[in-house]
Structure 1
Amino acid sequence: MARPWFPVLVVSMLLFPVACSGSSNAPTGGTIRIGTLHPLTGSYAGDGRQLENGAELAVKAINDAGGIKALGGAKLALEPGDTQGKPDVGQSEAQRLTQAGAVALIGTYQSAVAQNVAAVAERGKVPFVMNVAAEDKILQQGLKYSFRVQPVGSKFAVQAADYLKALSATTQPKVTKIAYLHEQTNFGRNAYQAFKAQAEKNGFTVDPEISYDAATVSDLTTQITQVKASGAQVLAVTGYYRDGVLAAKAIASVQPQLQAVLGVADGAFDHAQFVTDVGSAANGFLNVNYGLNLKNQEAVTLQRNYQQAHNQPMRTEAGLAYDTVQVIAAAIEKAGSSDPAKIRDAIAQTALPPVTTGGPIKFDDKGENTGAVPVLQQGQSGKVTVVLPEEEAQVKPVFPVTPGQ
């Protein structure tokens, strides 16, 4: 999702109910509201706050640059909704925000939450742009008002199996068996199924499959002990941030004899904060996910600004939230209107260079971003860097590699 920097245009509108989708342009100097739907409390609050912070930085950048010029410098404002990571809460919050006048929605981190929000957006005829929500099925239902910036979930899984095939082509002994550890919702199950199908085409055996409840798990030692006993040479993992840290700590403790740990859209292994939280145990971990384009100076600047504003490393999901707001803001600028239906039509015509890898952001008739590219990242020498594909890579991959060494 590589791109030259594009000033983020985020908008908030005078409190016109979304039901009035035929409402006219926001007056000069007005405020245009975008509803955000992230888990700000509960088990996933750390990730939700990263997403919220990324969206806030986008709004600040646009407002500082003069706001929405097509609407006389109208300013953007975020209207936060706390999903708590629960589908029913996400649905009720989406309804509240649209009724309060949000002209567009972004979110949500969990696919199950995004599914419910998409239904609300469709009924209310309000555009919904997903920053993080991987499940394929969300956009396989003929939805008109929903779009996704990140790569679709199955794309991560297929690419992960192909990256592993390329990495292991010249190694001895050959990788033949992969264990798979995943959180137990549709996100984890679907990633596992897509990976398994592609991995078996590539000549690997995927066994055992081990799942857990990411919301309640407090230790993954038992699961990693099972991996060790299986004799698998590679462990593939799909989960969220908190449980990713637990997996790394359990691997350091149990020390299974692995040639690699490979994240498949894992929410932890490719983040700078993961290195901070896990220390040297993070070295060598691989992850196929979305990534920041750190060959782009503007993405580097965003990363630095995030650190300064929030006194913590920026995770890639914050970059996706930033890009998502950019998409909506650019659409408002293009439409010259705060009418949700007109914004939706402008989003469908988007061709926007992002701060994340790949690009440009451009949506097909299902609302999928055709420019989204999963990259392979690896923890090396205390930091996480892109190692594949070559055109995005900052350094070469190390494989095989004992996790934590």
Structure 2
Amino acid sequence: MEMRRNTWSSMMAAAAIAFPFAAHADETVRIGHVAPLTGAIAHLGKDSENGARLAIEEINASGLVVGGQRVTLQLDPQDDAGDPRTATQVAQKLVDDKVVGVVGHLNSGTSIPASRIYKEADIVEISQAATNPAYTKQGFNTTYRVVATDAQQGPALAEYAAKSLGVKTVAIVDDATAYGQGLANEFEKAAKAAGMSVVSRDATNDKAVDFRAIVTKIKGENPDAILYGGMDATGGPFAKQARQLGVRARILGGDGVCSTDVMKLAGPAADNIVCSEAGMALEKMPGGPTFVRKYEARFHQPLQVYAPFSYDAVYIIADAMKRANSTDPAKILAAMPSTRYKGVIGETSFTAEGDLQHGAISIFSYKGGKKVLLDVVRM
């Protein structure tokens, strides 16, 4: 019996030498990602998910240690279809899945209702794309974003239209979503302040395909430009139909329109679009060129808009985890206000409300099938 005990002790000692971390088994923690993966803007949602997935793969490959324990991250991807009701259901699922943080949602109209679910669970939510100012003005300590807001984007677009394009009259159309309306409202205020005349304001919806009635009315008003508040899935066809009906006005749009796919959706009319992104232009981001190469090598498709932002959002959650020395969501949340993270999009730190300390707005046009940077406005 004594010999058997000694043999067993020797085996355990040998195992401890061979596997020094055997007593500290890996912990797997989930990070949620939410965006539309079905519907008209699924390409934007998948682009964002790819960015988050790339970050998680890199972090796992390099090894993440929190509190002396090896931590493996697992992406928990969810589809909210851009629908507010579905967004709250998905948010509750992620809470039930015990995620430690969420990258999402992509749309303002889904981020705002979902944010209450995450607040009740004390889980940090970092939106990669929601620009409506209302998202971070609810008094929740769980809401963050890594893009500028429409209170910055609208004025930057209006200022560029007035000063660089010489726009004096503008018609405004929005898609009746929280994002589209929010951008249109902020643009309208800034346009009037800049001395522009707003000749009309119309609304459509985010599933519309026929804009001829609105475009025909606007043609009669003969504005210098039309601001379209919405996403590329409707903004592209809107610009295309405006061109077909002989409208001479420039089409202005926000980050929802400012994608790679809008060139396919608008056809030759893309050359008439001037749009903004609520962040630094990819080619101006500190890690932009390297990120593009990694993204295209991994996913074999062109980057759209939001992948760099979701990528950095994952790293920011991992950074908070390391600084908190814990995978407890409440402790990760407590570490978020002191974030000082240098990533692809630049240096990220947050205001007390969860907005970026130093935002930037980039203005683009499309020429000959290419997206061209026109200007960068630092906020």
TM-score, L = length of structure 2: 0.87
The structure with the larger Rg is: 2
Equivalent residue for 1:193, pick from 185, 189, 199 = 185
Q: Residue 375 of structure 2 corresponds to which residue in structure 1?
A: 388
Alpha-carbon distance, 1:157 to partner: 0.6
Alpha-carbon distance, 1:292 to partner: 3.8
Alpha-carbon distance, 1:144 to partner: 1.0
Contact kept? 2:44, 2:305, Cα under 8 Å: no
Contact kept? 1:292, 1:319, Cα under 8 Å: no
- Within 1, Cα distance between the matches of 2:267 and 2:343? 30
Is 1:248 the counterpart of 2:239? The answer is yes
Q: Residue 213 of structure 2 corresponds to which residue in structure 1?
A: 222
Is 1:313 the counterpart of 2:302? The answer is yes
Contact kept? 1:71, 1:337, Cα under 8 Å: no
Q: Residue 261 of structure 1 corresponds to which residue in structure 2?
A: 251
Mapping 1:226-305, distance limit 5 Å: 226-258=217-249, 260-263=250-253, 265-268=254-257, 270-290=258-278, 291-296=280-285, 298-305=287-294
Letter in 1 for 2:163: A
Letter in 2 for 1:178: V
Equivalent residue for 2:351, pick from 364, 372, 397 = 364
Letter in 1 for 2:188: K
Mapping 1:6-405, distance limit 5 Å: 28-68=25-65, 71-168=68-165, 175-214=167-206, 216-258=207-249, 260-263=250-253, 265-268=254-257, 270-290=258-278, 291-296=280-285, 298-356=287-345, 359-389=346-376
Deviations 1:50-76 (A, max 9, x none): 211111111112222223466544221
Number of aligned residue pairs: 355
- Within 2, Cα distance between the matches of 1:364 and 1:102? 24
Matched position secondary structure for 2:138: coil
Structure number with the bigger relative contact order (C-alpha 8 A, sep ≥ 6) is 1
C-alpha spacing 1:206/1:271, structure 2 compared with 1 (3 Å)? same
Q: Residue 12 of structure 1 corresponds to which residue in structure 2?
A: none
- Within 2, Cα distance between the matches of 1:204 and 1:378? 21
Matched position secondary structure for 1:314: coil
Contact kept? 2:272, 2:366, Cα under 8 Å: yes
Q: Normalized per residue, which structure has more strand?
A: 2
- Within 1, Cα distance between the matches of 2:194 and 2:337? 36
Q: Which runs of 5+ in 2 are unaligned?
A: 1-23
Alpha-carbon distance, 1:200 to partner: 0.9
- Within 1, Cα distance between the matches of 2:343 and 2:286? 12
Alpha-carbon distance, 1:273 to partner: 2.7
Matched position secondary structure for 2:210: coil
Deviations 1:102-152 (A, max 9, x none): 011121122221112210111111111111112211211211111111111
Matched position secondary structure for 2:256: coil
- Within 1, Cα distance between the matches of 2:246 and 2:285? 37
Stretch deviating more after TM superposition (300-309 or 324-333) = 300-309
- Within 1, Cα distance between the matches of 2:296 and 2:210? 29
Contact kept? 2:232, 2:265, Cα under 8 Å: no
- Within 1, Cα distance between the matches of 2:181 and 2:163? 24
Alpha-carbon distance, 1:390 to partner: 7.5
- Within 2, Cα distance between the matches of 1:238 and 1:148? 20
Alpha-carbon distance, 1:245 to partner: 1.7
- Within 1, Cα distance between the matches of 2:183 and 2:287? 32
Deviations 1:348-396 (A, max 9, x none): 111223423xx4211111111122211111213421132213789xxxx
- Within 2, Cα distance between the matches of 1:60 and 1:257? 47
Contact kept? 2:87, 2:110, Cα under 8 Å: yes
C-alpha spacing 1:240/1:68, structure 2 compared with 1 (3 Å)? farther
TM-score, L = length of structure 1: 0.82
Matched position secondary structure for 1:389: strand
Contact kept? 2:56, 2:74, Cα under 8 Å: yes
Q: Residue 15 of structure 1 corresponds to which residue in structure 2?
A: none
Matched position secondary structure for 2:341: coil
Alpha-carbon distance, 1:221 to partner: 2.7
Alpha-carbon distance, 1:189 to partner: 1.8
Letter in 2 for 1:203: G
Alpha-carbon distance, 1:204 to partner: 0.4
Letter in 2 for 1:280: P
- Within 2, Cα distance between the matches of 1:297 and 1:59? 20
Q: Which runs of 5+ in 1 are unaligned?
A: 1-26, 393-405
Letter in 2 for 1:283: D
Matched position secondary structure for 2:293: helix
C-alpha spacing 1:85/1:389, structure 2 compared with 1 (3 Å)? closer
C-alpha spacing 1:390/1:153, structure 2 compared with 1 (3 Å)? closer
Matched position secondary structure for 1:366: coil
C-alpha spacing 1:71/1:164, structure 2 compared with 1 (3 Å)? farther
